[in-house]
Structure 1
Amino acid sequence: MFGCPIREGARVHPEAEALTYAGHSWSYGALDAEVNRWVAALEARGIGAGQRVALLSTNQPACVFLFWALGRLGALLAPLNARLTRAELAPLVEDIAPALTLAMGALRDRLPGAESLETFASSSTSTICGSLTEDSARVVLFTSGTTGRPKGAVLTEGNFRASCRASAENLGSHPAPRWLGTLPLFHVGGLAMLTRTSYEGGCLVLHERFDADATSRAIDEGVTHVSLVATTLERVLDVRAGHRVPETFKLALIGGGPVPVFLLERARAVGLLALQTYGLTEACSQVTTESPAEADGKTAGRPLPGTQVRIVGDDGEARGPGEEGNIEVRGPTVMAGYWNRPDATREAFRDGWLHTKDLGALDARGRLTVLSRRTDLIVRGGENIYPAEVEAVLANHPSVQEAAVIGVPDARWGEVPVAFLAPRTGQPRPDAQGLETWCRESLAGFKLPTRFVWVDTLPRNAMGKLERTALRKVLTEG
């Protein structure tokens, strides 16, 4: 049985800092008192075990208060993507049938009937703090929906605690970590930082959104850990302009795909340890992560302690080291299932293994290389082309900020790759011949893009994932 880590922190180290936001700070004692007010407000509305509360908000302290208050009542949080439109949100709310819907004022028009998040807390308090088990459901997190209608992954108290333990074992213990929270709290990465700091007695340094200047200042002011993607890492390095990070800063986790070699070298030059990682909502964030002792930027690292990863063929048979196939995951961080989607849940699991729909390979040391999502795989004349491989080559070109490769129909080959490129500021744009020559140095001829399309930026959703469907529209509408 587990109690609330905020209540425990208020008992053991009440003056320790637990949360900061926009110049405000809450100790564990103050945060516990604030959560008590939210518990009272939820009780007054009849919220109890198993009920769902939908939330539409950017990163705000109230989101933190609500998350811990719901845990004390055994209720579930269903945080919704703050970038979605009213039409996109409607089916998600219908799916979870919330007993209560809350939204920050600027977003309330997108959720009919939503109550104000800012004014919800009660003036009275409640000291109720129920216990949770490994299987107690905590959140319903909707997948990004880039390949269809989003599904709600149900993550449990056991999932979050196992993820925290495994990450700490891999990264190394810290007496009081200070995680910079720029990832949205409707994303598994944001919630992983929220829970991790509380379980470890640390502090969540919450920002409403990512800002390169603010992130750089936070690093100088004592943040120990941060989660970024390659593009945001580069923006932070640009801001720092060669200024070394202080010794108080330990590391950055880099998700969202491979990181260009030159970018890792830039990070190392200023003392910033950047570890590549692979994860997904259904496995409560990290699945594999480089370890600080052997990080070389060549892979997404080994499975976290307690997590198993295997590569299997379409026939379900395990593949050996270096052989490509489907990535499957098993362990205590894997979700309980999809909310009210028994068919989708059965499809997602095979003999207890989560079928990720991602393609990859494990090397002889057990390190994972992620090649592609199954739905992104390009088959050209019977040959498989993994977009990530081509994108990594293009992203290392000095004139390319970032790259994305998609497959488009072709009468002769079935499918051919097309590359979209965002330019690097201050660098000349090479022509198609120059880009093709660059690619030929690292790629077989059949993998070469048939077109190179320059765009200002690549479209990404709120989780930082590339929206390939939007790129296909560029071709069809152009």
Structure 2
Amino acid sequence: MNIALLLEMAADAATDRIALVCDGKRWTYGELLAAARGAYELIVDSGASHVALLDESSEASVIALFGAALAGVPYCPLNYRLADADLAGLLGRIAPALIVGDAARVARLTPDQGHVVYPRAEFTLAAQEAVASDGADYDAGEGVAIQLFTSGTTAAPKAAILRHSNLVSYILGTVEFASAEESDAALVSVPPYHIAGIAALISSIYAQRRIVLLPAFAPDAWLKLVDAERATNAFVVPTMLSRIIHALDKGIYADISSLRSIAYGGGKMPLELIQRALDLFPDTGFTNAYGLTETSSTVALLGPEEHRAAHGASDPKVRARLASVGKPLPTIELEIRGESGEVLPHGQPGEIYVRGDQVSGEYREKSALDADGWFPTRDAGYLDEDGYLFLSGRADDVIVRGGENISPGEIEDVLLTHPAIADVAAVAIPSAEWGEAVGLAAVLRGGCDQPGDEELKELIRARLRSSRVPERILFVPSLPYNEMGKLLRREVKLILAE
């Protein structure tokens, strides 16, 4: 089953219902399907191997997603915040592509790779005006639907792929067709290259919920959209929720009484932040959704009733569940395994493994599934005796800042270019605003003067981007390594904490 069928079902059942709102423009389900079929014509005519998005969320991103599905071509939204060198490398790996978005940047970075590029408005208009060819075949099969590049470590980013069967399995297991009322509206503000954004689009369309897109998140704009569109559902990363609460505390007014449900995920939720949110939104149901790109989004949920029960509980065990990510979905198998691959008992931390039809675990380079179909998430955690999943860190030491995965290696490589830095380690440190932030432990090269914090921060900002700038820098005599020469990042975190 192709994900485009989900849009076709919605359009057949409610052609004139509003499907999408972006920058004040409204699209019905019938209009959205017609534009996707027009995009199909553009994609087929281009001969592209991929359909890429290099832009913020808009109606063009939705049209491109379903147009690519109809054409049987992978949809590949790119992180437009990447540095030029990194983006150029990704553009080369998907050539020749039909690219929607920043035409000038594509022309500057990859002028000779055969890309067909449409600015956002031009693509949308061309898709609307395209005439369906005689005998157009929209039965594109169940191949690769989505390709998302991982954040990478010190090596090139991996190309994670999700097949139509993975995404459809997730939707059919979590969403009831046409279950939304016509007044229901989902506010989507996560970036289009995040799996949560893609899952929110597809699930809302299958439920026939109105999608309200906010291309660039800002707390005041988010609140105004909730008020103006009477949004009933929303998904945020913890950093967004922190900024929304801060805006409300500053006195920004909005009528948010329509909000029945807020789901969050993409990073660690500080306990004090979700407690404050539960107090501030007493009539809103909160859901903690834990998942990964490779699992087609959510694999475990802590639901609204569990949030409220934990928040008001006197039993310490029940209250502790507010720090969990809930229980695995009924369609998901989940195990905690030790270093030798053995399944661990309740309460004992290890690496989280998952299995199910929605789990891809597949990359263009190779599959990460074991012989029995289990996917190692590289997340560490444990299950309590009642089956609640608690995360206890990242097995691969990735820093998750505001829902964005940050590789310590990329920061370390930049700092090691400084003549006064002999050794350095970047690790996650707790942050009330971001969930996690970057902390640095650095070793000064002999005979050199210690550089100032601002000098090192500016080096990182210039070579990478502001999200990689550390909140804390500490100079130490040496870094801890084991006998095999492996950096002990856990000990580095303790040093920074002290």
TM range (shorter): 0.7 to 0.9
In structure 2, the residue matched to 1:288 is 300
What residue number does 1:42 align with? 43
Letter matched to residue 277 of structure 2: A
1:251 alignment partner AA: S
RMSD (CA atoms): 3.5
Distance 1:289 1:82 in 2: 30
Give unmatched runs, 5+ long, in structure 1: 379-386, 411-454
Q: What displacement does 1:77 show? A: 1.2
Distance in 2 (alpha carbons) for counterparts of 1:182 and 1:377: 23
Whether 1:210 aligns to 2:217 is yes
Matches within 5 A, 1:213-228: 213-220=220-227, 221-228=229-236
Contact 2:71 2:140 in 1 (8 A): no
**1:56-455 alignment runs, 5 A limit:** 56-105=54-103, 107-108=105-106, 109-112=108-111, 114=115, 115-118=117-120, 119-120=122-123, 121-122=126-127, 123-126=129-132, 128=136, 130-131=138-139, 133=141, 135-146=142-153, 148-168=155-175, 174-175=180-181, 177-220=184-227, 221-241=229-249, 246-269=256-279, 270-271=281-282, 272-295=284-307, 296=310, 297-335=322-360, 337-339=362-364, 341-342=365-366, 345-346=367-368, 349=370, 351-376=372-397, 391=430, 395=432, 404=437, 408=441
Letter paired with 2:91: V
Tell me the residue number matched to 1:10: 11
Specify whether residues 107 and 22 from structure 1 end up closer, same or farther in structure 2 by C-alpha distance, changes over 3 A only: farther
Structure 2: how far apart are the matches of 1:301 and 1:25? 36
Identity, % of aligned pairs? 30
Q: Distance in 2 between matches of 1:89 and 1:319?
A: 41
- Give secondary structure in 1 for the equivalent of 2:347: coil
Separation of aligned partners in 2, 1:222 and 1:137: 35
Shift of 1:168: 3.5
Q: Supply the distance in 2 between the matched residues of 1:338 and 1:261 (Cα, whole angstroms).
A: 34
Aligned partners of 1:192 and 1:285 also within 8 Å:
yes
Please say if residues 7 and 32 of structure 1, whose CA atoms lie closer than 8 Å, have aligned partners that are also in contact.
Answer: yes
CA separation of 1:366 and 1:350: change in aligned 2, threshold 3 A? farther
One-letter amino acid of the counterpart of residue 395, structure 2: R
> Whole-Å Cα distance in 2 between the matches of residues 98 and 314 of structure 1?
42
Q: Secondary structure at the match of 1:376?
A: coil
Q: CA deviation at 1:99?
A: 4.2
Residue 408 of structure 1 deviates from its aligned partner by 4.7
Distance verdict in 2 for CA 1:102–1:29, change over 3 Å:
closer
Partner of 1:419: none
2:423 alignment counterpart: none
Report the Cα distance in structure 1 between the residues aligned to 2:398 and 2:292, rounded to whole angstroms.
18
Following the alignment from structure 1 to structure 2, what is the Cα–Cα distance between the partners of residues 7 and 228? 28
Q: TM-score, normalised by structure 1?
A: 0.75
Cα displacement (A) at 1:324 = 0.4
The DSSP-based 3-state class of the residue aligned with 1:72 is helix
Going from structure 1 to structure 2, the CA distance change for 1:60 and 1:84 (only over 3 Å counts) comes to: same
Q: In 2 relative to 1, CA 15–377 (structure 1 residues): closer, same or farther, beyond 3 Å? A: closer
Q: Distance in 1 between matches of 2:351 and 2:255?
A: 38
Whether contact under 8 Å (1:78, 1:141) holds in the other structure is yes
Q: Could you tell me how far 1:130 is from its partner in structure 2?
A: 2.0
Q: Secondary structure at the residue paired with 1:4?
A: helix
Q: Distance in 1 between matches of 2:259 and 2:110?
A: 40
The amino acid across from 1:226 in the alignment is A
C-alpha distance in structure 1 between counterparts of 2:40 and 2:28, whole Å: 18
Distance 1:304 1:99, change over 3 A: same
Task: Go from structure 1 to structure 2 and tell me whether the alpha carbon gap of 1:148 and 1:274 turns closer, same or farther (over 3 Å shift).
Answer: farther
Q: Is this contact kept in 2: 1:53–1:98, CA < 8 A?
A: no
Which digits, 9 at most, give the CA deviation of each residue in 1:394-417, with x for residues without a partner?
Answer: 74xxxx77554758589xxxxxxx
Alpha carbons 1:179, 1:197 under 8 Å: kept: yes
1:382 aligns with none
- 3-state DSSP of counterpart to 2:43: helix
Q: Which runs of 5+ in 2 are unaligned?
A: 311-321, 400-426, 444-456, 477-498
Q: 1:375 to 1:213 in 2, by over 3 A?
A: same
SS in structure 2 at match of 1:84: coil
Asked if the contact 2:51/2:99 (under 8 Å) is kept, the reply is yes
Report Cα offsets for 1:169-218 as digits up to 9, x if no partner. 7xx96445522121111111111111111122122211111111121122
Question: C-alpha separation between the residues in 2 aligned to 1:244 and 1:264?
Answer: 20
Which amino acid in structure 2 is aligned with residue 52 of structure 1? H
The CA distance in 2 between the partners of 1:337 and 1:197, in whole Å, is 25
Q: Quote how far apart the aligned CAs of 1:245 are.
A: 6.3
SS at match of 2:35: helix
Amino acid in the other structure paired with 1:36: R
Give the distance between the partners of 1:167 and 1:217, measured in 2 at CA: 29
Which amino acid counterpart does residue 356 of structure 1 have in structure 2?
T
* Residue pair 1:4, 1:68 contacting (<8 A) in 2 also: no
Instruction: Single out whichever of 238-247 and 57-66 deviates more from structure 2.
Output: 238-247
Of 36, 39, 53, the match for 1:55: 53
CA contact (8 A) 1:229 1:254 kept: yes
Mapped partners of 2:276, 2:161: distance in 1: 38
| Contact in 1 for aligned 2:264/2:288 (Cα 8 Å) | yes
